[in-house]
Structure formats: structure tokens, C-alpha cells
Structure 1
Amino acid sequence: MCMFLLYKAPKSHKPNDTSILHTTPLTPYTMVADQNPVAVVMIPLPLQGHLNQLLHLSRLIATHKVPVHFVCTTTHGRQVKLRVQGWDPNTISTIHFHDLPIPPFACPPPNPNSTNKFPSHLQPLCEAATNLRGPVASLLHKLSPTARRLVIIHDSLMSSVVQDFVSLPNAESYTFHSVSAFSIALYISEKVGEQIRKLIKPNGITKISLSFEGCFTPEFKQFISVQHEYAKLSSGRIYNTCRIIEQPILELLESEARSANKLLWALGPFNPLESKRFGSKLPKKDGGPVDRCLNWLDKQASNSVIFVSFGTTTSFSQQQVNEIATGLEKSEHKFVWVVRDADKGDVFSDNNNNIIRVELPKGYEDRVKDQGLVVREWAPQLDILAHPSIGGFMSHCGWNSCIESMSMGVPIAAWPMHSDQPNNAVLVTEVLKTGVLVKDWCQREEVVVAAAVEKAVRRLMGTNEGAEMRRRAVALGTNVRKYVLDGGVTQTELGKFIAHITR
């Protein structure tokens, strides 16, 4: 019998109701002789971009000999371990995986013809994941006596799931934001947003709108609102970023955090940084599509290839795929293009999930075989970005992709689709100046024609302007890696975080 059946979660608490600390006790907390100083429980939202970041953070914390419990649905725990890049999760013995069941949920396919690119087909999964509250409460109850302090790190969109930690006298929680500090700062208050606008353009003039207009469906806005109310119970916030990337923004957020008596930690980049680009190779896979892709890249000149990938939640119409194909071909630059459908709620629900639903133009792959490589399987993005032949990245600007690209020193051709991505595109193109914009957000419902794709590729890969962006991206990546190495600022901040939770 699953242990969560033994515990019935109490009625939902109001986030500002401190009386719950005394009115909903669990079994009394008992000190035991063999306690760990601390145990960490990770609660990700079961979408790939969220799962990936907290699994990487689990690795970083586990290297400090802190036991980490990674809690997920059965399906998505399997998914994130299958897709992890840069390290083998089986080599970290202090990470304990807890795969928990959730009720069945609707699993519609993505709609490639929708003008709004928000992946609304994944909302049923997000709603179903909130049913983890009972199992998570039971697990926390079980783990509480094993450590002097129980630390819960949860995705900001899973805040309601962990609310029962307040009943445990040795538990505290930290909210993890899976997006940039820049995007969160714009979201939390108009006052902070105005300060950011001044940072970007002191004269108040900017080409790109800083807003969340068209970024979400009304239903998902409501989901966010509910989860963020429960985030008020946490002791602080964690970001997958570092101060070399977002220092002024983090300072604004720290000021806001202090006013709310919260802590703030910038612990990123979480992704591994060892790579062929910097003198050592990431772990070899089993000779499948990963090796095929990397072997092709090995034959290309340094900085000559643009990597084209739009993440796990983007679906394109047949018309848009044709335009991208034509634009890449006409650019006359080398490319690796990931052509696959968006994830469904359950990526294992059928055998065709990772096969594209649309066709490339007739004879396309034969025509471009000397110019480009089409990848239809799950792509080793971290390995690809780390390869020395990669000189640019056409991306949707999801935060995983942005932070991986920045840490590897690769400039971005920004093509945002939804959520935080439009604001991340502003960060890349206007603040850091390490990229070009493929498409203005105000034109988000329009098809991007081949000429625009061609222009963006040529601008990034074949002009002096693009070379200067590449120089800035390389410098940024160098500084980011210095921050992460032993003695660097991020490493110090991670050390401070470990010291804080083991205090």
C-alpha cells in the first residue's frame, strides 16, 4: 500500500494564517540519535523545463553530502532521469527519488495551429499534480524525524502541494522560480517594473514591450495566482541565475524580499559546465542520436553552426515549419535543427510522441545534407551548446535554454513563444546584448516568413554585429564559469546556502 494513503492532509490553509502552526499538529517530532543535520526535499512542477532545473540543483546540493529527496509523479520522474544531460543521476547516492502516483488526467495533444503558443494542453497535468499534496505531506511527516531540519525546495507553481510543512516544527520551505530574476521582477510589482525599464533605457525608450500580454491563457493565470498565494509561507526564494548575469535585477528583488522578511539566493547556473568546448568532454552516451549529432558537429569549423531548437512546449504549423526550413536553407549557414513535436502530459503514452507531426518540404534533407542536420529525436541540447562548432542558437528563450546558452558562451537568435520567454528575449537582446530578435512580440500571432528567418541567421552568424554579440556572449560565459568554480561567487553563495540550511 502506498504510504500516502495513511495520512489525510488537513484542510487547505490560508497563506497568512499563522495559527496553523498550532492547530494542525502531526505526530510529535522526536529527536533521534542518528539524525542528519538536514534533509532536503525537492518538489518540481512536472514539466520538463521545471523538472530539469531542480534535478540539477539536487546534484549540486548532494555534492555537499546533504541527502536530497526528489519527489515527482511516477511518469515524470522517469522522464527527467531519462533526459538528464551532463551527469548520471545514478552516480549521486545521496539523491533519493520518490515517484508518486496522481489521478488520471486529460492528455490532449498540442495544437500546432493555435495562434496562441501557450501550451494549454499541459494545464490538465499541472492541475493533476496538485493532488500530490497528500502524498507529499505523508512523506514530509515520515522524513521529519530523520533530520534536525527538513528543508523543502519547491517550484513556485507547486506551492499548494507543500503547504502542510507548517505543521512540522523542524521544517522550512524555499520557493524556486524556474524563470529569470528579470521576468519575476517584472511580474511582482509595477514599481519594480518601472525601475527595470530605467535600467534598460534610462531615456525611457525601448523597442520591445515589457509585459506579460499574450503570455498565458486566463486559466493558467488563475493557476499561477493560486500557487503564488501559498508561496507566501516560504522563508525565501531561489533562482537559477548568478550575479554576473542579473546583478542589478537581483538587487531590486533583494530589496523587495527584505521588506517581506524573506531571503534570496542566486545559486545558478545549475547545469553542468564541463564540456568539450572548455577542454574536457561530457559523458558519452550509448552511440544513438547523441553521438550522431556530436560526430556531425566534430566535422564542422569552429563557431560555424547555428543550433535551432524551440524547447519542449512549442508546436509549429506545417506552414511555419516550411518557412523555417526555407529560411535556414537560404541562409547558407550550417545548422542543426531539432524538429519534434511538443511534449504531451505523458511523453510515454504512445510510441510516436517524439516524432514530428508535420513534414519537411519534399527532398529537403537530401538537399541540405552538406549544410545541415535535422534531429527528430530528443536532442542533447547541453552537449550541442557546449560543442566548439556552435556559434549561435535560435531559441524560444525558455530559461533553461537561456542559462545553458549563456553559460556556454553562445549568442541567441531570440524567438519567444509564451510565458516568461518574451521578457527573457529582452534580457538577452537589450540588457546583455548577446543576441538578435527574430520576431517582435507584438507580431506573435503572425507566421515568421522564410526571409525573416534567413535574415536573423545571417545577422547572427555572418556579420560584424553578430561577431560582436558572440564576443560578448563568450565573455559572459567565461565570467559565469568563474563564478561557478571553487572560490567563485556562485560557489560561495551555494556554500552560504548550505551553511544556512545546516545551521
Structure 2
Amino acid sequence: MDRISFIELPQDKTPPVSKAPMAAFTDFINSHCKYVRKIVGDKISQPGHDRVAGFVIDMFCTGMIDVANEFNVPTYVFFTSNAGFLGFKLFMQTLCDDQNQDLIELSNSDSTIPVPSFVKPVPTKVFPLVIQTREGLDYVMSSARKLREAKAILVNTFMELETHAIDSLLEDTTIPPVYPVGPILNLEGSAEKSSENDDIITWLDSQPPSSVVFLCFGSMGSFDEIQVKEIAQGLERSGHRFLWSLRRPPSDQTTRAPTDFEDLGTVLPEGFLERTSGIGKVTGWVPQVAVLAHRSVGGFVSHCGWNSLLESLWFGVPSAAWPMYAEQQINAFEMVVELGLAAEIKLDYKKDLFNPKANKVVVTAEEIESGVRRLMEDNDVRTQVKEMREKSRAAVVEGGSSYMSIGRLIQEFKQNIS
């Protein structure tokens, strides 16, 4: 598209001032403000330049609001998670700043609290791990305060999915206007072609419709050998067909990214691959969109990353919630308890990406078997997910709720330069 130009920023090489992980993350992003400032400054200094109608920034890049303010330009934040979590995050900041609530103490308690963006009280056991430490809490509170400085917040969700959450945000005059603009998905998935991918699709082609449980835990999802064996036993006991994306935990703390096993037999129970060869397939990385779109996939055991959940709804595949990090516990609570669109495996499972050995919780084979059975056999959830599939697709076509929301946003952009 000739109306869209891409400018590649230099990557800043300055070492972060802070050694603490979350603070270093913020330092790294903010170190690029100077490049954005220069690019925008150069652009508007040219004769006959177009006026800048606004900055649209990622939810992790709220430091760029200060740059936009220097040019007297409004900022719009693209919030890539859901409206329920956005409301939760802003409400936590209200409790902290306005009511002097000790959020670390609260998040480590065993209770439930009313949160405006949820109909049902939220149990503290599903609060994100990040707000249970001082450093993490400081990061989240700072981020929430910056969100309030935006002119508006664009959320990757749609009105029919999160009606209560969106309404609660729109009614709160202390929060910038919210525009539901989703689901925004990359339905092309990965363009990467490989014999392994072809093998996965060929195997799925040979399975009955809606019969396969698909297990995939995101780009950072991996388990130690004890947990892997429990998953294997749970799958075997369930009797359901399965496709399992099994990744190896990172071997060092510098990458933190899982990799594929060279030999799956070294981590799985003895004889498991042989016993399940007729109904199961264990592999490494998978093309998630292509798998969820396949007619043979009937359920998705997911880490509850919001993008993955939107993809599963788009294709009408019910999920079983096994959250791991970030805000995924809140996502899981919303899908299972608030909306009834998923089955539960373990809503309060948490993995510390910065200290993986700190996680001592093992989800048992019995819990996994039970969750898989609910996922594949609960017709109420399956029916509701199929209905939401149609609503998600209707939201983004002409006349749909998100289509109209984007139209209102475009009008606002026009007003900024009129």
C-alpha cells in the first residue's frame, strides 16, 4: 500500500541502567524515544509535510506518550490483551494510589474482590505473578498511570465477547475512551513451509472431524520432565486423540526461549510414543493457525495468551485453560468463569519466566485427564464457542461492531488535523 510507509528504527545499544528484569525492559524501550523524536521532528520540518494526527503505540511503549506530547500530538494505545484485564489493571492502580491498598499483601491472600470490569468477583489466586513482587508491581502501576494519559485506548476485543467489561470501561470517566477493534489476527499464520509442518497437516487429515485435542503453550511455554510425564499420562488416560506441541525448556537464562527436543523419547514416559502411535502425535513447534483451522481439531489446551484465545474463538475451537505467565491467569478466569467459553485445567498455575526453578506446582495426570474430558465432552461450552465464532467474524465485516468502532476512530483522527 503506497499510503503506508515503514521506518526501521535503529536498535539502541546502550546497556539498561537497571539490572532488575522489568525495569531493564522499560529502560530498553524508552532508550528508543530519541530515535522516534528525531524521525518525527525531521518529518514535520520538511516543506509541505502532512500533519501528524496522532501516535498509535503498543501497550508496552507508553514512554512514547512523552514524545508525542512534545509535538502536541495525541497518543492512542493499542492494548493487545482484553478489556477485562485492562479494567483489572486500572482498578489495581486505583486501589494502590487512591485507597492505599497493599497490593502485594492482597495478591498473596486467599480471597476474592469485586473488579468493575468483571461481573463475578475475581479470586486473588488468579492475580498475575508480576504484582506479587515490589519490582513487578512498580512496573505495572507505572504502566497503568501512563495509560490514563492516552487520548484513547484501542483494545483487541469485540463488544459481543466482552460486553460487560467494555461497558464498564466506557462508563468510567477517569479512563480514556475505549475502542474495541478486534479480533485482529494474523490468519495467514507463519509462511514457513517445512516437511514437519506438512507431516502435521497430513496426520490431521487422517483424523475424524473434531476429534483431536491440540496442546500448545505459546512461544515461551515449556515444562520440566516431571510435568511432561504427567501430561503424557493424562492424555493417555483420557483416550482422546491428540496433537501435542512439546518444547524443551531453555538451557540458560539469557534466551529464555524454548527449543525443540532432538529426541522426544528422552523426556516422555517409556513406551508412550509406541502405545499412542495410533491416536496421538507429539511434535515440536507447530503452525498454530493452520492447526486450529483444521476440521479434525476439536479442542485446544492453551496457555491462554489472548491472541491464542481469539484465534480459537475465530475457528470455533473450545479451549481448556492452563495459564502460565503475564496476565494469562486473568484471561483464563474470564474465559472459564466469567464467560463460560472454556474448560479449566488449572486457573492459578503460574510460571516465573525470570526464575523457572521457583515453580514447584505440578498439575497431576488426574487433573489433566479431567480437563481434557471436559474440553472434549462438554457440549454446552462447545455450543457457546460455535456461537461466538460467528459473532467474532461478524464484528469485523462492514456494519459489525468493531468495524463501526474503527470508523469512529478514523473520524477522530480526521478531527485531530482539521
Deviation at 1:233, TM superposition (A): 3.1
- Paired with 1:142 and 1:475, the residues of 2 have a C-alpha distance of 50
**1:112 corresponds to:** none
The one-character-per-residue Cα deviations of 1:104-147 (angstroms, maximum 9, x if unpaired) are 669xxxxxxxxxxxxx9787455423311211222222334542
**Aligned residue for 2:311?**
404
2:44 maps to 1:130? no
| 2:63 paired residue number | 160
1:212 and 2:127 are equivalent in the alignment:
yes
| 2:290 aligned residue | 383
Superposed displacement of residue 283, structure 1: 8.7
Aligned to 2:280: 372
Partner of 1:100: 10
1:194 matched residue in structure 2: 114
Q: Contact 1:121–1:345 at 8 Å: present in 2 too?
A: no
Q: CA deviation at 1:363?
A: 4.2
1:454 to 366, 369, 374: 369
The amino acid of 1:333's aligned partner reads H
What secondary structure does 2:157 align onto? coil
Give 1:429's aligned residue.
Answer: 336
Q: Deviations over 1:359-381 (max 9, x none)?
A: 2334433432322222213x211
CA distance in 2, matches of 1:183, 1:344: 32
Q: Tell me what 2:160 maps to.
A: 244
Distance in 2 between residues matched to 1:442 and 1:364, nearest whole Å: 25
Matches for 1:27-42 after TM superposition, within 5 Å: none
Give the secondary structure class of the aligned counterpart of 1:439: coil
> Secondary structure of the equivalent of 1:157?
coil
Give the corresponding residue for 2:227: 320
> AA paired with 2:235?
L
> Could you give the per-residue CA deviations for residues 386-406 of structure 1, whole angstroms, max 9, x where no partner exists?
212111111111111111112
Give 5+ residue unaligned stretches, structure 1. 1-61, 68-93, 107-119, 275-281
Q: Using the alignment, how far apart are the partners of 1:284 and 1:498 within structure 2?
A: 31
Letter in 1 for 2:178: L
The sequence identity of aligned pairs, in percent, is: 25
Aligned-partner residue type, residue 501 of structure 1: F
**Deviation string for 1:165-216 (max 9, x for gaps)?**
11214x321112222111121222268973648723xxx7x8x547526344
> Which residue is equivalent to 1:354?
259
CA distance in structure 1 between the partners assigned to 2:382 and 2:315 by the alignment: 11
Check conservation: 1:212, 1:419, Cα contact below 8 A: no
CA–CA separation in structure 2 for the residues paired with 1:363 and 1:227: 49
Which amino acid in the other structure matches residue 393 of structure 1?
Answer: F
In structure 2, C-alpha distance between the alignment counterparts of 1:253 and 1:148, rounded to whole Å: 30
Alignment correspondent of 1:40: none
Aligned partner of residue 148 in structure 1, secondary structure: coil
| Partner SS state of residue 153, structure 1 | strand
* Contact 2:302/2:308 (<8 A) preserved: yes
TM normalised by structure 1 equals 0.67
Aligned residue number for residue 80 of structure 1: none
Letter in 2 for 1:453: I
Task: Tell me whether 368-377 or 96-105 shows the greater mean CA deviation.
Answer: 96-105
For 2:243 and 2:183, locate their aligned partners in 1 and report how far apart those are by CA, in whole Å: 24
Partner letter of residue 136 of structure 1? V
Q: Could you say what secondary structure the match of 2:259 adopts?
A: coil
Aligned residues: 379
SS at match of 2:63: helix
- 1:487 corresponds to: 399
- Measured in 1, the distance between the counterparts of 2:400 and 2:312 equals 20
Aligned with 2:170 (options 254, 272, 287): 254
RMSD: 3.3
Partner of 2:98: none
* Letter in structure 1 aligned against 2:156: N
CA deviation after TM superposition for structure 1 residue 292, in Å:
2.4
**SS state of the match for residue 233, structure 1?**
coil
Q: Map 1:51-200; keep pairs closer than 5 Å.
A: 66-67=3-4, 94=5, 96-103=6-13, 124-144=24-44, 146-169=49-72, 171-189=73-91, 194=114, 196=116, 199-200=119-120
Q: 184, 190, 210: which one pairs with 1:303?
A: 210
Aligned to 1:501, what secondary structure does the other structure show?
A: helix
Gap runs ≥5 in structure 2: 96-112, 351-358
Q: Counterpart in 2 of 1:332?
A: 239
- Give the SS at the match of 2:170: helix
State how far apart, in whole Å, the 1-side matches of 2:57 and 2:253 are. 21
Separation in 1, partners of 2:147, 2:91: 16
